[in-house]
Structure 1
Amino acid sequence: MNDAPSDEDPTDTLDARYFDGRSSRPHGVQLRMTRDGLCVAPLPSSGRASPPVAPFAPFTVSPDQVRWPERTRHGGRLAQLPEGASLQALDVVRWDAWVARHGGHAESRVVRAQQSWRGVAAALVLLLAAIACMYQWGLPVVARGVTALVPLKVDVLIGAKALASLDDSLLQPSELPVAEQERLRRRFTQMVAQAHPEGAAPWNLQFRKGRDRRLGPNALALPGGTMVLTDELVRLLPGDDDAVLGVLAHEFGHVRLRHAMRQLVQASAVGFGVSVAFGDYGTLIGTAPVLLATLGYSRDAEREADEESVRLMRAASLSPRAMVGFFEAIEGWRGAQRRTGQDDSVIGMAFASHPATAERIAFFKAAAE
C-alpha cells in the first residue's frame, strides 16, 4: 500500500466500510480510482450519516492487489486487500455500478451466466446431462475397477448367504431325478472345458424347485460361482437339453465376468469404496442378499452373457438357435401368467425376469447361421 497520489476525478467516489485486518472495528472510507490504483481515504465527517470514522492516512492499493467480489443477485460485497484488510459495500447497487464504471473487476462468463435465468437453466441442463453420463457410462467403468479389487472370497461369502436366503424364502429341494441332474451337470462340465481348455472361473450348479409360482422356470447366477436352475425351467423344455445348456452357459457368462458383484458395487458404490479402502466387507456381506433380490443386470451385461452362451454352445457343437426356442417358450409361459394374473416374479437378477427382446432373439438367430 502506498501514500495516496493525486486524484484523477475527485467527484467520482464511493463510500464504504474499511476493516484493517487487525481489529473488527469498521472505518468509514471514501474510495476513488486514481492513476496509480484504488485510493482509500477516511470518510469526510460532514453531517452525512455514515459508519464510525477513525482518522488514518489515505493510501493507495495497486489494482492487481485488490480482489473484487463477484456480482450476485443477493448478498453483500466484500473486496479483499493486502495484509488481511477488506472493504465492505454500503450500497450494493452503487458499488456494482462504480466498480463496473472503473473496470475494477472484469466479470467472467460464469458470473454473467449466474445473473441470467437462461444461464442458470443451461447450467442445470449440463449438470443433469453430466450426472446421466456418469451413471450410464462412468459408474460401470468405476464398478468394473472396484470389483477387480474385491477378493474372490467375498463373492463366495455373499453367494452362500444369498443362496441360504433364497432357500429360506423362495426355493426348496429339487424333485428332478438325480440321474437327470447328473446328466445336465456332466454335459455342462464338458461344455465349459471345451470352451475354456486353459481353465475357467469356478462354478457350482445347484438344482432347486420354486416354493410357489413367483420364481417359475428360471435360472440365476450368484456371486462366487453358484448357479441355480429351477425344476420348472427344465420341465418347460422337456427333452431339449440344448436349450437348458444354453441358459446355463448364459449364467456362466455372468459368473465368469462377475456381473453380480459389479451390480452390487454400482448399487452401493460408496459402501464398497469404504470396504475396499479398509478391507472390511462384513456389512456388505450381510446386506448383499437383499440387494441381489432387487437388482437386474444391465443390457450390456446381458449382451456379454449372451456372447458367452454362444461361445460355449459352439464349443460343444450345439446350435445357438436352441436359445430362440427357449425365449419363445418363456414368453409363452409369461403370457399365460399375465392372463391369470400371476406375473409376479420377484428376483431381479433371475434369467426369466428379463424380457426376451427382439435384439437378443436376432442375436442368437444370427449366431446360428
Structure 2
Amino acid sequence: MEIARWPLKQVQWPERTRHGQRVILLAHGGSLQVADAAAFDAWRVALGHSDGWVVRAQLHWRGVLLALVLLLGLLLAGYRWGLPWAAVQVVRALPAQVDEALGQEALGYLDAHLLSPSSLPAQRQAELRAALDQALRAMDAAPVPWTLHFRAGVPGSETLDPPSASSTDTPSVEPTDEGGTGEGKSTRGGIGPNALALPGGHIIVTDELVQLLDGRDDALLGVLGHEYGHVRLRHGMQSLARLTLASAAVSVVVGDFSSLLGAVPLLLAQMDYSRHAEREADAEAVRLLRANRLSPEAMVVFFERMAARQPARRTREEGGLPIALSSHPADAERIRFFTEAARP
C-alpha cells in the first residue's frame, strides 16, 4: 500500500473550534477528517503550529464581544461619515440632466398625491418670481437654474375645478409643461404652509405659506433663499444618493434592488435632509438677505407665525409629508442663528 505524502506548507489546517471534528484540506482536493478533535489539537501543537489571535479571540466570549463592538463602531462610522462622503462623490459624477429627470418625477408624485393647482393670482406669482430672481442675482452673478412653482398645500380631488388662466404655473427660467388639473388625486395628506426644493432646480412654495407671510416678503424671500440653497448645493441628490447607497447595501443581503429603483420618486418626495444640510441652507438664506440689504432677523417672523399656528399643523402620523421644515434643527436653535446673523 502506497503512502501518500504532502509537504506541510501545502496542507490547509482547520481552525480550532469548541465543537465538531477537524477537517484537513489536502493539495489535490482531498481531505482528512479527524473525529477526535482534542487529540488532533494536541498533536498539532506538538508539531509547533499555534493558533492565530483571531482564532484565540473566537474561542472566548470577551473576544467575540469585542469583535461585535468593533463591528458596530465600524458600521456607525461608515453611516455617519463614510456614507455622506460617498454620496457627495456620486452626485459630483452625475450630470445635471439626472437631477432634472428625478425632479420632474418627484414633482409629478407631489402633484398627484399631496398638492393641487395654485389659486394665487398670476400677478402675485409674477411679483414673487421677479423678486426672487432679483434677489438671487444680487447674491450670485450667475445663479444655478431654478424654477419656482406655486401650489396649494392640500391634495386635489375629482371635484376640483380646473385651474384658470390666472393660476397657471409659468417657470422663471425655462418653460415646463407641468399639467395638473387635480383630477383623480388623493384626498389624503397635504403639506399646508411649506416650501421645498427638488432636484433639478424645482422650488415649490404653497399658497398657504404665501398667505402666512403676507406683508413680509422679506421673510418669504429668506425661506425661498433657504430652498435655493438646497438646489445650489444639490442636497436633494445627496440625500437620495445616501439613501440609495444604504438601501443597496441592504439589498445585497435581501436581494431585491428593483423595488428600490421603482420607489425613487416617492423617496425624493418624502426624504429628509440632514441637519448639516439644513444649516447650510440656512446660511444661504442669510447670504441672500444680506446681499439684498435685508435683515436675517426677518426669518424670525417666519418662526413666530409658524408657531402661532402650531396646534393646526399635521404630524407625520396624521399623514403630513415629512419634508421641508419637519427635518430642520430645533426652532430655538435656528432663531438664535438668524438673530445672531442680524447683529452688526
State the TM-score, normalizing by the size of structure 1: 0.74
1:12 alignment partner in structure 2: none
Letter matched to residue 160 of structure 1: Q
Q: Determine the structure 1 residue equivalent to 2:219.
A: 243
- Cα contact 2:275–2:327 (8 A) shared by 1: no
Q: Is residue 143 from structure 1 mapped to residue 87 from structure 2 by the alignment? A: yes
Is contact 2:278–2:329 with CA below 8 Å preserved after alignment? no
1:158 Cα deviation from its structure 2 partner: 1.6
What is the SS of the residue equivalent to 2:309? helix
The Cα of 1:214 is off from its aligned counterpart by 3.1
Q: What letter corresponds to residue 267 of structure 2 in structure 1?
A: L
Q: Please identify, of 170-179 and 77-86, the stretch whose mean Cα deviation from structure 2 is larger.
A: 77-86
- Name structure 2 gaps, 5 residues minimum: 156-188, 250-257
Aligned to 1:97: 42
Compared CA separation, residues 242 and 352, structure 1 to 2 (3 A): farther
CA shift in 2, pair 1:297/1:226, >3 Å: same
CA contact (8 A) 1:207 1:230 kept: yes
CA drift at 1:66: 4.5
User: How far off its partner does 1:80 sit?
Assistant: 4.3
Deviation track 1:248-295 (CA, whole Å, cap 9, x = no partner) reads 00000110111111111122227889xxxxxxxx99885322112321
CA distance in 1, matches of 2:235, 2:89: 12
Report the equivalent of 1:366.
Answer: 340
Please say if residues 103 and 200 of structure 2, whose CA atoms lie closer than 8 Å, have aligned partners that are also in contact. yes
Q: Is the 8 A contact 1:293 1:346 kept in 2?
A: no
Matching of residues 1-369 of structure 1 within 5 Å: 55-57=1-3, 64=9, 66-81=11-26, 86-100=31-45, 102-197=46-141, 199-211=142-154, 214-269=190-245, 287-337=263-313, 344=318, 346-351=320-325, 354=328, 356-369=330-343
Structure 1 consecutive aligned stretches of length 4 or more whose deviation exceeds 6 Å: 270-273, 282-285
- Contact persistence 2:102–2:265 (CA under 8 A): yes
Task: Assess if the C-alpha contact under 8 Å between 2:303 and 2:331 holds in 1.
Answer: no
User: Does the 8 A contact of 1:159 with 1:226 survive in 2?
Assistant: yes
Structure 2: how far apart are the matches of 1:328 and 1:362? 13
- The DSSP-based 3-state class of the residue aligned with 1:268 is helix
Q: Distance in 2 between matches of 1:82 and 1:284?
A: 45
Tell me how far apart the structure 2 counterparts of residues 352 and 178 of structure 1 sit (CA, whole Å): 29
2:309 and 2:342 map into 1 onto residues whose CA distance is 24
Secondary structure of the corresponding residue to residue 313 of structure 1:
helix
**Taking every aligned residue pair, what percent have the same amino acid on both sides?**
49
**Residue 98 of structure 1, CA deviation:** 2.3
Q: Which structure exhibits the higher relative contact order, with contacts defined as CA atoms closer than 8 Å and separated by 6 or more residues?
A: 2
TM-aligned CA distance change 1:159 to 1:65, over 3 Å: closer
Query: Per the alignment, in what secondary structure is the counterpart of residue 119 of structure 2?
Result: coil
Kindly state the Cα deviation for residue 179 of structure 1 after the two structures are TM-superposed.
Answer: 2.4
Change (3 A) 1:176 1:111: same
Q: Distance in 1 between matches of 2:41 and 2:21?
A: 10
Give the match for residue 8 of structure 1.
none
